[in-house]
């Protein structure tokens, strides 16, 4: 019985890590997109702030644990 639980938790951990990696790369992509748009915009400050938020989110997302959700 303990083996099945260990297997499930290992599978869960792999899924959790994959989800965090996907969310982090999404935030990094959005930050890059906002920075590119800010260079083309007449009002770049809002887009630069948006990029900062996404970069901060990408950095902080790795600190999440399943207990946080």
Query: Which pLDDT tens digit goes with each residue over 24-46?
Result: 999 999 999 999 999 999 889 99
Average pLDDT for 5-18? 85
Overall domain count for the chain: 1
Tokens of 21: 């990696």
pLDDT at position 2 over 60: no
Q: Which of 29, 51, 21, 26 is nearest to 38 (CA)?
A: 51
pLDDT at position 13 over 60: yes
Q: What is the pLDDT of residue 1?
A: 44
Average pLDDT for 37-61? 94
Q: Domain range for residue 45? A: 2-68
Q: What is the pTM of this model?
A: 0.80
């Amino acid at each position: 019985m303990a083996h099945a639980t260990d297997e499930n938790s290992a599978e869960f951990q792999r899924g959790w890590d994959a989800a965090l990696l996907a969310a982090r790369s999404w935030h990094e992509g959005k930050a890059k997109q906002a920075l590119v748009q800010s260079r083309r915009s007449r009002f770049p400050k809002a887009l630069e702030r948006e990029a900062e938020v996404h970069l901060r989110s990408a950095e902080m997302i790795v600190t999440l644990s399943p207990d946080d959700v």
